[in-house]
Amino acid sequence: MPLRHYKRWAVALLLLVALAGIIVDAASREAYEWSAFRKYLLDGRVIKASLVTLELTLLSMFFAIILGVALGVMRRTENPIFKNFAWLFIWIFRGTPVYVQLVFWGLFSTIYKEVFIGIPWIHFGDFSLGFHLTLSQTASLFWIAVLGLTLNEAAYMAEIVRGGLLAVDSGQEEAAKSIGMSSLQTMRYIVIPQAMRVIIPPTGNEVISMLKTTSLVTAVPLVTDLYARTRDISNETYNPIPLLLVACTWYLFYTTILMAAQYFLEKRFGRGFNRNAVISA
């Protein structure tokens, strides 16, 4: 006689009934305006805005991961300047709200209309060592948003990377050195691939979290992303709820894709750590 889980089934049934009730109720409620939901879900403007959100997410994460790895490695070095710089960066960007940072970077481009990159006090006639960058022209609000999101996220990534590096046994580094690998090769071929196993799950969460944080870029103010765009449309047509549902559907759609990507990456970098893995000849 197999074990019967009566209680478990009872609770599950209760949940199902409740869920069905909510769905049936929502389907018939006027306020949700399902016809508007269907109309705007695949609206050209909404699809374009959802792609802006995706771009913001992927670009910011890409730069944040690079910067985060650099900061995480810097915190581990013996060099006190590197160490303290990384600490200061993390302290500032993790210690202030991302919304406030985005407002600040938005204002930044109005405070510094032009930035000179190079050595300012050396010039020969018209020729100078460096170049002028006109922020109000070249740096669109989109890139300011990417900058703001990147710097904030890099602080979190640095901590994740540091944790990952600490998780790798110090014997690994010794073994790599004993076969003549340089510090850089040891990092690249031995330490980082193993740290990845620890780094990827929280990084996946960060990507998904970033997808949703992009809805704050309105602080810059950037208004081409998914949330701002659907809000603007609803301001014209006075139907906020269906457009909020449209936005949520798109966020969920991308989150699902990102979760699948995370699953495959985790599998890839978990190689060798699972005793029961199938051995391919």
Binding site for another protein (CB under 8 A): 169, 171-172, 174-183, 185, 189-190, 193-194, 197, 269, 271-275, 277, 279-281
Question: What's the number of CA atoms in the CB half-sphere (13 Å) around residue 212?
Answer: 10
How many angstroms separate the CA atoms of 192 and 212, rounded?
28
Q: How far apart are CA 186 and CA 211, in angstroms?
A: 33
238/273 with CB nearer another protein: 273
Kindly list the distances between the CA atom of residue 45 and the CA atoms of 38, 141, 215, 277, in Å, as whole numbers in the listed order: 14, 19, 16, 47
Please identify, using beta-carbon distances, which residue of 163 and 240 lies nearer to another protein.
163
Residue with Cβ nearer another protein (200 or 216): 200
Shortest distance, position 169 Cβ to another protein, whole Å: 7
Closest distance to another protein from the beta carbon of 262 (Å):
18
CB of 225 vs another protein, minimal distance in Å: 38
User: Could you give the C-alpha distances from 51 to 46, 48, 59, in angstroms and in order?
Assistant: 9, 5, 12
Q: How far is the CB of 187 from another protein (least distance, A)?
A: 12
Least separation in angstroms between residue 201's CB and another protein is: 16
241 touches 32 (CB < 8 A): yes
- Closer residue to another protein (CB): 163 or 193: 193
Measured from the CB atom, the residue of 93 and 269 that comes closer to another protein is 269
Cα 135 from Cα 149, distance rounded (Å)? 18
